[in-house]
Structure formats: structure tokens, C-alpha cells
């Protein structure tokens, strides 16, 4: 669950943008600081080498003036003043024999070969090398150089200061990298969010619109051309959809409306024939057929218009405070004799009172439509259960039957206008009852859900919000 959520967050564009932003920022800062680090460490090493070269020069001129004993003496004094654990001096003959040295007690093993003496060939006048001398806590920079063609001066200097400096540098480096990472992530997140805010608005609008409010539009603000273009295109698409839907609905409504007059006339004439004392039996039977079919047709036309009206929303509702428990109880009583005749058991679990703001006639229609369906599709000896559950925020009206049920393929379509499942084609009806019920529930700010197990029955749940009384 947590993993799934994490995965979901990682897949968002905002997260990926932030991640990329932070990564690029981090990498470039790292490279820059690393180059600076390398340069600094090589520069301070060069400074050390220059110091050593200066020593070499001094020793060379001292040797020329005062000879070997003077420089051996000077080595001891120089090392003593610098600190014998920080610096050492040694003087070798060309063959590698040690002629003199400063205090070497802090330096441990200082094998002349290890310290690069033999690398000092004929060609090179002097060489530098860095060594990690055992027992000595820091790296050591060593210079081997000829003073005279047969005299070699070796100076070792501890790189302690350099190490301190580079250590501090690394610490600053690490702290800067962490800060950069945090700032980059923060700024990245902020920028990504800001860039995506428009997209999110479009998405929110799309969600609300797919929930049924086709009137909604994405607000157009100045927030970057791409997003604005997206919002505008989206709004244009909605306009088109709405126009098309309105047109389709208007055409259907107009057809339904235009059919009313001729059907009314036809029905009226047939009704007269039916009631007339001068009509003979066969014309009466013909008239009765016409009246029955006209009634069916009119019922269908009226239901279509009712659905359109209910879909037009709450504006057309005649809302009043009413006890829906009583209304449902009355509807059940209306059906009871029919249930008895068909051999159905009707059981109900309805609280004493349950008030809501409803259009009473529309509400009756919605409940009776669902009861009609339950009756139609439940064979004798079945059970129909009606329950009203009143909670803080909503009222659930559950109508459950033990009828033939609805197949999984049909279930998503049953609320569509004129949709009829294969099994229901043998039954009377137009496929309008459920869509009307749904439209009524929606116009009240609620909805209807259906669950079904083919062969075991169906459960329809009307959910209505507690409108402020």
C-alpha cells in the first residue's frame, strides 16, 4: 500500500522534474567544486615545492662558501627550528652514503632507496615525490637534489598543513553539496509545481466535468502560453461537446414533443370510439388497442422528457422538506397486494422518520421505478428487501432483490437511455426507468449504484445527501 503510494508519487511529472533538476544541479556543482579542489591541492603542493627549492638554493650557496660541515650543521639547526617531527634534512654522497642528517627520531624507517634517492639519475638535477611514511601521521613531500655533482641534499617536509587545509576544504565541499542538493530539490519542486499548476487545474476541471458538470470551464489566467493553450483547447472541446449534447437532446426532446400532439389526437379519437354507444364490438376492440398503444407511446415520450428535465438539474425541482420514510412505506404498501399475488416476500427496514429536502413526485417516481424493476425481474417465491439507512451526511435507500440479476457486461450500461439487457427484452418496458431514476437522484445531488450477481439478484442503492433543511 505504502509502496504503491510511493510508486505513484515517483511517477508524477512534478517529482521527476524535481529529481532531474536536483540531479543536474548537484552534478554540475560537484564537478565545479571537484575541479577547484584538485587545483587547490596541486597549487599548495607547488607552494611547498617552491619552499623546498628555496632551501636547496640556500644550502647550495652555504656549501659553496662554508663546505660540508656547515651545511650538516645548518640542516640540524633548520630542522630544530621548524620542529624535527615536521621536517628533516639528510645529506648523501653520490653513492648513497649518508654524510649527515637532522634529528630523524620522529620519522621511523627512512630507507634511502624508498625515499627516491636512487631515482635521482644522471639527467635529473632534482626530483620531488610524496610519500606515506609508516608511523608518520601525514603524507610527506620529499625533495632529492644535487648540491654539487657528488653531493645530494634530501629534505622531507610533513604535509600536515596541506592536509588540514584540504580536510577543511572537503568539509566545506560536503556541506555545500548537501545544501545545494536540498536547495535544488526545493527550488526544483517549487518550479515544477508552479509550472504544473495550470495542468492540475485542467485536470481538476476534467475530473469534475467527467463527474457530470459539463458547464464547468477551466479558468484562463496568464500563466505561460502552453498551459493557456491547453486550457483554451480543452474549453473549446468542452464547448463543442456541450453543443453537440444539447443539440442531440434538443432533437430528441423536439421529436418527443412533436409526437405528443398527433398521439393525443389519435388517442382522443380512439377513446371516443371506445366510449361511444354507437360503436360496434370490433371497432371498440380496435379502439382499445389504439388507446393502449398510444398510452405506451405517450408514457415513453413523457419519460424521455422527464429524463431531460431531471438532467437539466435541480432548477426544475420543487424541493420541500418531506419524510422519505413515509413515502417509501407508502410505495411499499402500494406494491404489497401485487407482491402477494406474485408470491413475493417484501421485507423492509425503515426508520420511523427520515427527513430530506426532495421533490416528492420525482422521489416517488425514482423509488417506484426501482421497485418496478425488482418486481419485474424477481420470480415468484423471491424476496425484495428495502432498507433505509440514515447517517450523518447522507441517506442510503437500498433495494435488494433475489431475481435474475444483471450480467457483468450489462451492468455498466443499465443506466443509459433506452438500454435493454438481452434478458429484459422479453419483458415490457422501454429501458428508460433506470435512467430516469438516475437522473432524478443526480438532480437531488445524489446517485444510484447497482451491484448484481447473475442468478442471485441485484442491489440498487440510492444515495442522497442530507440537503440543508
Partner 1 sequence: MRILLVEDDRRIADFILKGLKEAGFAADHALNGEDGLHLASTEPYDAAIIDIMLPKLDGLSLIEELRGQQINTPIIVLSAKRSVDDRIKGLQTGSDDYLTKPFSFSELLARIQALIRRASRVSEPTDLKVADLSLNLISREVVRAGKTIDMQPLEFALLEYLMRNAGRVVSKTMIMEHVWDYNFVPQTNVVEVRISKLRDKIDKDFDLKLIHTVRGAGYVIKAAE
Asked if residue 156 binds partner 1 (CB under 8 A), the reply is no
The C-alpha angle 212, 214, 219, rounded to 5 degrees, equals 120
Is the four-CA dihedral 166, 168, 173, 178 of positive or negative sign? positive
Site for partner 1 (CB under 8 A): which residue of 261, 380, 391, 393?
261
C-alpha cell at 434: 433506470
Asked if residue 271 binds partner 1 (CB under 8 A), the reply is yes
CB of 302 to partner 1, least distance (A): 7
Q: Which is nearer to partner 1, 268 or 379 (CB)?
A: 268
Q: What is the spatial distance between Cα 248 and Cα 118, in angstroms, rounded to a whole number?
A: 100
Question: What phi, psi does 385 have (nearest 5°)?
Answer: -115, 130
Query: Do 374 and 338 form a contact (C-beta atoms < 8 A)?
Result: no
On the 0-12 / 13-18 / 19+ scale of CB atoms within 10 A, 324 is buried
Q: Which is nearer to partner 1, 133 or 256 (CB)?
A: 256
Count of residues touching partner 1 (by CB under 8 A): 50
Q: Which is nearer to partner 1, 125 or 275 (CB)?
A: 275
Q: Which is nearer to partner 1, 138 or 260 (CB)?
A: 260
Query: Do 195 and 224 form a contact (C-beta atoms < 8 A)?
Result: yes
| Alpha-helix runs per DSSP H in 137-224 | 160-210
Asked if residue 429 binds partner 1 (CB under 8 A), the reply is yes
Asked if residue 275 binds partner 1 (CB under 8 A), the reply is yes
CB under 8 A: which stretch of 83-91, 112-120, 169-177, 426-434 binds partner 1? 426-434
CB of 355 to partner 1, least distance (A): 19
CB of 467 to partner 1, least distance (A): 21
Asked if residue 228 binds partner 1 (CB under 8 A), the reply is no
CB of 352 to partner 1, least distance (A): 20
Residues in a beta bridge with 459: 400, 451
Query: Do 421 and 410 form a contact (C-beta atoms < 8 A)?
Result: yes
Helices and strands per DSSP (H, E), number in the chain = 9, 12
CB of 333 to partner 1, least distance (A): 7
CB of 249 to partner 1, least distance (A): 16
Say how many Å lie between the first and final Cα of the chain, rounded: 40
CB of 343 to partner 1, least distance (A): 13
Residues 308-327 within binding reach of partner 1 (CB under 8 A): 309, 316
CB under 8 A: which stretch of 78-86, 116-124, 133-141, 333-341 binds partner 1? 333-341
CB of 357 to partner 1, least distance (A): 19
Identify the CA nearest to 136 among candidates 167, 166, 106: 106
Query: Do 442 and 310 form a contact (C-beta atoms < 8 A)?
Result: yes
DSSP 215-278: T--PPP-SS-HHHHHHHHHHHHHHHHHHHHHHHHHHHHHHHHHHHHHHHHHHHHHHHHHHH-TT
Is the four-CA dihedral 223, 226, 229, 231 of positive or negative sign? negative
Asked if residue 416 binds partner 1 (CB under 8 A), the reply is no
DSSP 86-106: TEEEEEEETTS-EEEE---TT
Q: Which is nearer to partner 1, 301 or 406 (CB)?
A: 301
CB of 200 to partner 1, least distance (A): 40
Site for partner 1 (CB under 8 A): which residue of 56, 365, 417, 442?
365
Site for partner 1 (CB under 8 A): which residue of 263, 387, 398, 467?
263
CB of 386 to partner 1, least distance (A): 14
Q: Which is nearer to partner 1, 232 or 276 (CB)?
A: 276
Query: Do 394 and 356 form a contact (C-beta atoms < 8 A)?
Result: no
Residues 57-76 within binding reach of partner 1 (CB under 8 A): none
SS3 109: coil
Query: Do 299 and 256 form a contact (C-beta atoms < 8 A)?
Result: no
Asked if residue 345 binds partner 1 (CB under 8 A), the reply is no
Asked if residue 371 binds partner 1 (CB under 8 A), the reply is yes
Is the four-CA dihedral 318, 323, 324, 328 of positive or negative sign? negative
Site for partner 1 (CB under 8 A): which residue of 122, 132, 341, 352?
341
List of residues 6+ apart from 42 with CB closer than 8 A:
none
Asked if residue 85 binds partner 1 (CB under 8 A), the reply is no
SS3 141: strand
CB of 384 to partner 1, least distance (A): 11
Q: Which is nearer to partner 1, 95 or 261 (CB)?
A: 261
Asked if residue 206 binds partner 1 (CB under 8 A), the reply is no
Site for partner 1 (CB under 8 A): which residue of 99, 127, 180, 290?
290
Binding site for partner 1 (CB under 8 A): 257, 260-261, 263-265, 267-272, 274-277, 284-285, 287-292, 295, 298-299, 302, 305-306, 309, 316, 330, 333-335, 337-338, 341, 361, 364-365, 368, 371-372, 375-376, 428-429, 433
Amino acid at each position: 500500500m505504502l509502496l504503491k503510494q510511493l510508486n505513484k508519487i515517483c511517477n508524477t511529472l512534478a517529482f521527476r522534474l524535481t529529481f532531474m533538476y536536483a540531479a543536474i544541479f548537484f552534478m554540475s556543482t560537484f564537478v565545479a567544486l571537484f575541479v577547484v579542489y584538485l587545483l587547490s591541492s596541486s597549487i599548495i603542493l607547488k607552494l611547498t615545492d617552491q619552499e623546498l627549492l628555496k632551501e636547496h638554493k640556500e644550502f647550495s650557496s652555504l656549501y659553496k662558501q662554508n663546505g660540508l660541515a656547515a651545511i650538516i650543521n645548518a640542516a640540524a639547526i633548520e630542522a630544530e627550528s621548524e620542529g624535527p617531527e615536521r621536517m628533516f634534512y639528510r645529506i648523501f654522497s653520490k653513492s648513497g652514503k649518508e654524510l649527515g642528517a637532522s634529528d630523524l627520531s620522529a620519522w621511523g624507517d627512512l630507507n634511502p632507496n624508498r625515499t627516491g634517492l636512487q631515482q635521482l639519475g644522471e639527467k635529473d638535477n632534482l626530483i620531488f615525490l610524496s610519500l606515506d611514511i609508516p608511523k608518520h601521521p601525514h603524507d610527506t613531500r620529499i625533495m632529492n637534489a644535487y648540491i654539487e655533482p657528488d653531493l645530494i641534499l634530501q629534505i622531507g617536509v610533513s604535509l600536515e598543513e596541506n592536509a588540514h587545509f584540504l580536510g577543511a576544504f572537503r568539509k566545506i565541499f560536503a556541506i555545500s553539496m548537501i545544501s545545494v542538493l536540498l536547495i535544488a530539490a526545493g527550488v526544483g519542486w517549487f518550479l515544477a509545481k508552479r509550472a504544473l499548476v495550470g495542468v492540475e487545474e485542467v485536470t481538476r476541471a476534467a475530473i469534475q466535468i467527467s463527474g457530470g458538470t459539463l458547464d464547468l470551464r477551466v479558468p484562463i489566467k496568464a500563466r505561460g502560453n502552453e498551459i493557456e493553450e491547453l486550457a483554451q483547447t480543452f474549453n473549446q472541446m468542452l464547448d463543442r461537446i456541450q453543443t453537440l449534447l444539447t443539440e442531440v437532446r434538443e432533437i430528441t426532446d423536439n421529436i418527443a414533443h412533436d409526437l405528443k400532439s398527433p398521439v393525443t389526437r389519435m388517442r382522443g379519437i380512439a377513446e371516443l370510439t371506445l366510449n361511444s354507444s354507437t360503436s360496434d364490438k370490433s371497432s371498440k376492440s380496435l379502439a382499445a388497442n389504439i388507446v393502449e398503444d398510444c398510452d405506451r407511446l405517450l408514457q415513453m415520450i413523457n419519460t424521455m422528457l422527464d429524463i431531460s428535465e431531471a438532467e437539466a438539474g435541480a432548477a426544475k425541482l420543487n424541493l420541500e422538506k418531506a419524510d422519505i420514510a413515509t413515502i417509501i412505506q407508502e410505495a411499499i404498501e402500494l406494491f404489497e397486494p401485487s407482491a402477494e399475488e406474485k408470491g413475493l416476500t417484501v421485507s423492509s427496514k425503515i426508520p420511523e422518520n427520515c427527513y430530506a429536502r426532495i421533490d416528492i413526485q420525482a422521489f416517488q417516481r425514482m423509488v417506484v421505478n426501482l421497485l418496478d424493476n425488482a418486481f419485474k425481474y424477481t420470480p415468484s417465491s423471491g424476496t425484495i428487501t428495502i432498507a433505509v439507512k440514515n447517517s450523518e451526511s447522507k441517506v442510503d435507500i437500498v433495494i435488494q432483490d433475489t431475481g435474475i440479476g444483471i450480467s457483468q457486461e450489462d451492468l455498466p450500461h443499465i443506466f443509459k437511455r433506452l438500454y435493454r439487457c438481452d434478458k429484459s427484452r422479453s419483458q415490457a418496458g422501454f429501458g428508460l426507468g433506470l435512467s430516469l431514476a438516475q437522473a432524478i437522484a443526480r438532480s437531488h445531488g445524489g446517485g444510484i449504484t447497482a451491484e448484481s450477481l447473475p442468478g442471485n439478484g441485484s442491489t440498487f442503492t440510492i444515495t442522497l445527501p442530507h440537503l440543508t433543511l
